[in-house]
Amino acid sequence: MVSRVIPVDKFDLVIFGGTGDLARRKILPGLHRRYLAGQMPEGAQIVGAARAVLDDQGYRDMVREAITEFGDAEDQDEAKLAAFLEHVQYLPIDAMGEKGWEKLAKMIRPGMIHAYYFSVGPSLFGELAERLQLYGMADENCRIVVEKPFGRDLESARELNKVLAAHFDESQIYRIDHYLGKETVQNLMAVRFANILFEPLWNAQYVDHIQITVAETVGVGGRGAYYDKSGAMRDMVQNHLMQLLCLIAMEPPSRFGPDEVRDEKLKVIRALEPVDPHHIVRGQYNADGKEQSYRDDAGDPKSLTESFIALKCHISNWRWSGTPFYIRTGKKLKARESEIVVVFKDAPHLIFGQSSGQHCNTLTIRLQPNEGMTLGVTIKDPGPGGMRLIDVPLDMTFAEALGEEGSDGPDAYERLIMDVMRGNQTLFMRGDEVEAAWGWTDPIIAGWEERGEVPKPYEVGSSGPEDAMMLMHRDGRRWREIKE
């Protein structure tokens, strides 16, 4: 268990949607782990709230089950679990009606931090915000946490921002993109801005291109009908991949503060050029005898929604002009893997002659699995027979380099929930950032819809459609292999 914890002050946390999938899978097991780590203070109160009629004991039984199912095996100490559950209560409440609200208002303790986690569909955000205000719970000590998807286009995102802004100040709104809570994602900033080594090379003069891959092995499974209204662009690129792109491309902020960091990310999004339709490849996975096709999973034999997307984009500013960023994400691919590869340009002059071959340095940042970084360097191939060169990895897997502390930090949700309690918005998306991201994605989506483009089929367990490979090959480049 983590040894260096920064304790948070006592808090009241209300989880609207406390019986839902996200609460059971992530939020509650995460809070339990923070409790075990000593970060959740005695006196903290967690209130699950949903329409289901349950009493405290019934809810605690549900939370216990969720922690047993989704928590870590080594965290299942019965006495500690029972002590954690003492902090948990339940209140039947209807976001759309008046049931439960007066009672909730009485449970909120004055003078203490209170956070309201909107773990419900976005159509309920306005109802919740309004009632929190109406029942006197939206004071200056409160924070609200909202989940993705934050809208499905610029217009709906603006509408959601407007609804929330009517009741809360931007400093009280925490829009979660759980990718930002990942240890390695934050490490991106540490690597870039705490080392002198990389910054001089971190620009179009020395970087040939950057690849960002988020590959999943799962399909859309039981949530096919929901996913079919969204697709990989809305579900993954507009949020997670764009956040990664921002962190890799942004200018150094003047300090590691919420607005300083988010201002710089926003500048990257605003500098993104529109994408040439020829630089976009969309795909759908095929049936493979054992597993259904995307269209079967989506329940629509004519679906045009993509379960895979690869695209090439450019950032028009001094640092990156001319350096392409290739990003791809998809479902039912060869392996579960998220990584960023910075591919540096070749050395300007080869003193070892043509026979030594072409070599370039790469910096690979692995977000999952095996979080860590690898610097690809060129060395002499050992042995006699002249100056042959080979590329070798300088490998740093965090779990190996840092021992127990490197492998046992808080997961993304745990970290982000504790940041909410601490009032630190650095790893949350600001309203203007989300709108800018939709502002870039909307015309891309509108373009392929207008053209009636049909996604290319790809095999389950592959690296995506052949055309995605061609996107790189045409430029004389290659994707890094998605490794099983």
Active site residue ranges? 240
Q: With residue 397 as reference, give the H or E element that holds it.
A: strand 389-397
DSSP string, 255-299: SS-HHHHHHHHHHHHHHBPPPPGGGEEEEEEPP-SSS--HHHHHT
CB 253 within 8 A of CB 260: yes
In the complex, the smallest distance separating the C-beta of residue 328 from ligand NAP, rounded to whole angstroms, is 21
449 three-class SS: helix
**Closest residue by Cα to residue 214 from 195, 239, 194:** 239
In the complex, the smallest distance separating the C-beta of residue 253 from ligand NAP, rounded to whole angstroms, is 27
CA 82 to CA 101: how far, in whole Å? 28
Q: How many other CB atoms are there within 10 angstroms of residue 75's CB atom? A: 18
| 72 touches ligand NAP by CB under 6 A | no
Q: Using alpha carbons, list the distances in angstroms from residue 65 to 25, 28, 78, 461.
A: 10, 11, 12, 33
222 three-class SS: helix
294 three-class SS: helix
Q: With residue 398 as reference, give the H or E element that holds it.
A: helix 398-402
| 120 touches ligand NAP by CB under 6 A | yes
Among 52, 107, 191, 287, which residue sits at the site for ligand NAP (rule: CB under 6 A)? 52
Residues contacting ligand NAP: total by CB under 6 A: 24
Pick the closer one to ligand NAP by CB: 90 or 458: 90
Among 38, 121, 257, 393, which residue sits at the site for ligand NAP (rule: CB under 6 A)? 121
Structure tokens at 154: 């610029």
In the complex, the smallest distance separating the C-beta of residue 282 from ligand NAP, rounded to whole angstroms, is 22
| 319 touches ligand NAP by CB under 6 A | no
Phi, psi of 449 (to 5 degrees): -65, -45
CA 226 to CA 214: how far, in whole Å? 20
Task: Show contacts with ligand NAP in window 22-51 (CB under 6 A).
Answer: 22-23, 25, 50-51
- The stretch among 71-79, 147-155, 189-197, 402-410 that binds ligand NAP (CB under 6 A) is 147-155
- The stretch among 113-121, 193-201, 262-270, 470-478 that binds ligand NAP (CB under 6 A) is 113-121
Pick the closer one to ligand NAP by CB: 208 or 228: 228
136 three-class SS: coil
- The stretch among 21-29, 33-41, 151-159, 281-289 that binds ligand NAP (CB under 6 A) is 21-29
Q: What is the CA radius of gyration of the chain?
A: 24
| 64 touches ligand NAP by CB under 6 A | no
State which residue has the least CB distance to ligand NAP.
20
- The stretch among 61-69, 146-154, 338-346, 373-381 that binds ligand NAP (CB under 6 A) is 146-154
In the complex, the smallest distance separating the C-beta of residue 73 from ligand NAP, rounded to whole angstroms, is 21
CA 179 to CA 192: how far, in whole Å? 18
| 231 touches ligand NAP by CB under 6 A | no
Pick the closer one to ligand NAP by CB: 104 or 468: 104
Q: State the distance between the two ends of the chain, measured CA to CA, in whole angstroms.
A: 29
Pick the closer one to ligand NAP by CB: 120 or 472: 120
Q: Give Cβ neighbours of residue 379 (< 8 Å, ≥ 6 apart).
A: 389, 390, 391, 392
| 95 touches ligand NAP by CB under 6 A | yes
Among 89, 119, 286, 329, which residue sits at the site for ligand NAP (rule: CB under 6 A)? 119
In the complex, the smallest distance separating the C-beta of residue 452 from ligand NAP, rounded to whole angstroms, is 28
Site residues, ligand NAP (CB under 6 A): 16-23, 25, 50-52, 93-96, 119-122, 124, 147-149
